[in-house]
Structure 1
């Protein structure tokens, strides 16, 4: 299944709204332009998590932050720079401020995605 189809299913099922759907499509394009593959299970899991987190943020919800030692270890990873670019893109394109807890999970998922290549 194409990742865009998964986003459409979340939208058609009423899980996410139109604004989150459109931002999710933009994030897919952003990642693909940087040759970050989303067509496997890890890619689908990341985009599903991201889409759900964008909806949660829009509704004012939050998740618990990752343990600080994990964040410290991940921030020393080569993926840190692209993660920051990605976070900046989401915040600008979506006109939202991502909580630190969500940024940690984005870093974790991108380390997993990019590390597999």
Structure 2
């Protein structure tokens, strides 16, 4: 994970949009994702994910509702080669953070992670 992505997380902490504890867990999880899927996360390919993931987790902690992907996108997503792997990784995020991620948010996150893998292996 490059320095700009780490800086992005620090900015969220400084703005009280992310806790330091959750930031540390996310950095570790994202580093694990890089190693597991041979994906290099940088500001160009993962800026949206590294903003979305912590914001989503904080929204969930606050009990805010999340909409799901539309059916056509969801159907296409489920056909992706790495769909199950990415869904398993989201479940790992749940275990590590202690935050239960609603189905709709899981789908958005799986979409981000699948796209990262596809970009790197393209």
Question: Normalized against structure 2, the TM-score is what?
Answer: 0.86
Name structure 1 gaps, 5 residues minimum.
Answer: none
**2:17 aligns to what?**
15
Do 1:20 and 1:55's aligned partners in 2 also have CA atoms closer than 8 Å? no
Mapped to 2, the partners of 1:84 and 1:48 lie a distance apart of 19
Q: How many residue pairs were aligned?
A: 117
Name structure 2 gaps, 5 residues minimum.
Answer: none
Mapped to 1, the partners of 2:62 and 2:113 lie a distance apart of 24
Alignment of 1:29-108 (within 5 A): 29-34=31-36, 35-108=38-111
1:18 positional shift: 2.5
Mapped to 2, the partners of 1:109 and 1:52 lie a distance apart of 14
Structure 2 residue corresponding to 1:27, chosen from 29, 32, 39: 29
1:106 positional shift: 0.9
- Structure 1 runs of 4+ with >6 Å offset: none
Do 1:62 and 1:101's aligned partners in 2 also have CA atoms closer than 8 Å? no
